[in-house]
Amino acid sequence: MLAIGTANPTGVVIPQDQFTDDIFRMTKTDHLTELKEKMKRICQKTGIDKRYFYLNEESVDAHPEFLDRELPSLDARIDMAATAVPKLAQCAATKAIAEWGCPATNITHLVFSTYSAWKAPSFDHQLASLLGLRPTVSRTILSLHGCYGGGRALHLDKQLAENNRGARVLVACAELTLVCFGAPDGSNLVGTALFGDGAGAVIVGAGPFSEGERPLFEMVTATQTTIPRTEHVLGMQVSGAGVDFHLGIQVPTLIGQNIKQCLVDAFGNDNVPGSWNDLFWAVHPGGRPILDNIDTVLKLEPGKLAASRHVLREYGNMSGATIVFVLDELRRRRKEMGGDNLLQEWGAMLAFGPGITIETMVLRAPPLNEN
């Protein structure tokens, strides 16, 4: 990974302790007092301080069909997403390209991940145009991978970079909750309390590096695991009323039970570290209990998941884009708070989503003076 950029919508920032009042007012559901109390209880346990949103009260008022799952709203959501998602991705990608320091036309491949893409040509094509990429740029769009979309895109980028000499791959993940947004009901409270909007972008390339290029993280090995018989636990489905989602209550436990084997598979039996504390950690903060369970199962020292908890607190779960924010936070901490001492050389990245699918990657943070 040679450069990282992130972005959030600039319009609406909702503190989590104000969220329940705001969302029930915006969706005209203040009369559902039991549901509102439950939402307050859930919000208090999320480990989130604030979230960024593209939708605002005005746009919700303009689309009463977003509040009634019986009314068709897919077309309106697609129209809004078609402009807003590529633009948010553009903001993140522009930052990554500026940090990389090379012209955008040097990008050879683009991989775009989102849960909002349902048209062709799709957001990868729009982003390529917005950034002025070459017409020969090799584009791929990944759709509906949910929270493991960023991990999947980085995994593919690694393979593209290593198998195409001189390739410079742009990965972009952009997620807007507007496709899932609805009035609170018995089935969507947890998602509504957890998810926010954001985009992340990474430039990936294999050596030899040109002057000025410096790897931030090396992607050493990567694996994908699907936990058998968990298809029904976590999922998303496009309907006439947007994207429906289901987050089973077992998700944090199932991830905790399977994480060690995923890590052993990614490191290989002979290379498993003596203690998981010998690593730095980039974990998708899918929810606070997911992080707590990983801490417990791997016996991690306090602070090992600090970057993930920080991102969860400051932005919520931005689905596939979140892992890029975690990587960005890790490298920021390393740079600003004392160099190599704060980050072990070897690390692990974890991202989870529908399937249940777990993307695991062994990372290396090259010492700051290494080139």
Ligand X SMILES: CCCCCCCCCCCCCCCCCC(=O)SCCNC(=O)CCNC(=O)[C@H](O)C(C)(C)COP(=O)(O)OP(=O)(O)OC[C@H]1O[C@@H](n2cnc3c(N)ncnc32)[C@H](O)[C@@H]1OP(=O)(O)O
Question: 72: which strand partners?
Answer: none
Q: Which is nearer to ligand X, 45 or 299 (CB)?
A: 45
Compute the distance between CA of residue 322 and CA of residue 332 in angstroms, rounded to an integer.
15
Site string for ligand X, 187-216 (x = CB under 6 A): ---xxx-xx---------------------
Binders of ligand X among residues 325 to 364 (CB under 6 A) are 352-354
Under 8 Å between Cβ of 164 and 140 = no
The binder of ligand X chosen from 120, 249, 302, 341 (CB under 6 A):
249
Point out the catalytic residue in the list 43, 147, 173, 180: 147
Q: Which is nearer to ligand X, 13 or 368 (CB)?
A: 13
Residues whose CB is less than 8 angstroms from the CB of residue 306 and which lie 6 or more positions away in sequence, other chains included: 333
Closest CA to 322 of 300, 290, 345: 290
Residue 55 sits in the site that holds ligand X (CB under 6 A): yes
Could you give the 3-state DSSP secondary structure of residue 15?
Answer: strand
Q: Taking the complex as a whole, how short is the minimal distance between the CB of residue 241 and ligand X, in angstroms?
A: 13
Q: Taking the complex as a whole, how short is the minimal distance between the CB of residue 145 and ligand X, in angstroms?
A: 8
Window contacting ligand X (CB under 6 A); options: 36-44, 88-96, 209-217, 263-271: 36-44
Binders of ligand X among residues 99 to 158 (CB under 6 A) are 146-147
Classify 144 in phi/psi space as left (phi over 0), alpha (psi -120 to 50) or beta.
Answer: left
Dihedral of the CA atoms 63, 175, 353, 44 (nearest 10)? -70
Compute the distance between CA of residue 316 and CA of residue 177 in angstroms, rounded to an integer.
12
- Note if 43 is an active site residue: no
Q: Taking the complex as a whole, how short is the minimal distance between the CB of residue 146 and ligand X, in angstroms?
A: 3
Tally of CB atoms within 10 A around 258: 19
- Interface ranges with ligand X (CB under 6 A): 12, 23, 38, 41-42, 45-46, 53, 55, 146-147, 177, 180-181, 190-192, 194-195, 234, 236, 245, 247-249, 251-252, 286-290, 319, 352-354
